[in-house]
Structure formats: C-alpha cells, structure tokens
Amino acid sequence: MNERDADMLRAEIARLLQLYPELADDEVLRADMLDGETQMSDVLTHLIREGEDAKAMKEATKTQQENLKARAQRFERRVEFTRELMLAILDAANLRKLELPEGTIFLRNNPQQVVGEPDATTLPDDLVKIERKPDRKAILAALKEGRELPGLALSNSPPSIVVTVKS
C-alpha cells in the first residue's frame, strides 16, 4: 500500500459519491456501497496490519535500544573502574606521571567545584536562573474565557484514528 494506491481509492470513493449523491445522507448504505464497489476494506485491513507490524517493530527496537543502553552503561562503569584503579595505583606509588608504551598516565589538578545540592528556593535571586515560558493550560483557559491574546486563537483539534485489533 502506497500513497498512489490511497489516492486512487480516494478518487474512486469521490467518483461514487458524485454518481450517487443519496449516499451522503445514509452512512450505513454508504459504507456497504463503498465496501462492495471498492477495495476499501482490503486497503484498511492492509493498513491495520502495517500499523500493527510497525508497533511490533517499534517495541522490538525500543527493547534493543534498552539492551544497548544497558551495555553502554556497563562499559562506562568499566571505564570508570579502570580510571579509578589507575588513580589508586599512581597514588600508592606517589607518582604524578608515568609513561608507558600504550600511553601516558598523569594526574591533572581540576578546578574547584560546588559540593552539595543547591536548593533554588533558599538561594538569593542573583544565584538562580528564572525561566519564563508559556503556561499552555492558563492560555487555553484565558482564550476560553474570551480574553484576546495577540497571535493566539482557539481551534478544534483534527480527528484522530482509533484502531482496535481483535486478539
């Protein structure tokens, strides 16, 4: 199923509705007529299957990503462990630098850092970042109350598809 097939089906449906305008008033008759005269059911069934296959692939990909993330975390822990062990060995040997055939290991003095978890509610204003961002719920409520906001308006959301699959 591709976009061309969908376009052809839409054109066929439009043609039938133009030939039989009475179908516009009767949804049951329209559904029966379109089912009998077009491949609409076959196309929609195919799309349901494609959607379910895509969901399964999405879940499989998500699982694989989680496995790869866990593996990367294990390697990261191994990197940290080897670096900590090298630091401990240099410290025990009272060395700041050691040149080896594989590489050079040396201690670097790092800049000072903040220790502890700062609490933004207790710090003075000059030591916190204040973020200004739109409150979409408040904007929606204001627009519903009739308040005019530049560049904003209410709109109906487009319909969405719900697919239930029989197990």
Q: Each residue of 114-162: pLDDT tens digit?
A: 999 999 999 998 899 989 999 999 999 999 999 999 999 999 988 888 8
Is 93 inside any structural domain?
A: yes
Is 23 inside any structural domain?
A: yes
Neighbours of 139 (CB within 10 A): 14
Is 62 inside any structural domain?
A: yes
Is 82 inside any structural domain?
A: yes
Question: What are the pLDDT digits (tens) for 49-79?
Answer: 999 999 999 999 999 999 999 999 999 999 9
Name the token pair of 100.
Answer: 């080896």
What is the b/e burial string over 96-132, where b = at least 16 CB atoms within 10 angstroms of the residue's CB? eeeeeeeeebeeeeeeeeeeeeeeeeeeeeeeeeeee
Is 52 inside any structural domain?
A: yes
SS3 106: strand
Which structural domain range is residue 71 located in? 3-108
Q: Categorize the per-residue pLDDT at 1 as very low, low, confident or very high, splitting at 50, 70 and 90.
A: low
Is 25 inside any structural domain?
A: yes
Nearest to 34 by CA among 21, 58, 16, 61: 16
Residue 27 predicted with pLDDT over 90: no
- The total domain count for the chain is 1
Residue 2 predicted with pLDDT over 80: no
Is 118 inside any structural domain?
A: no
Is 152 inside any structural domain?
A: no
Distance CA 119, CA 109 (A): 28
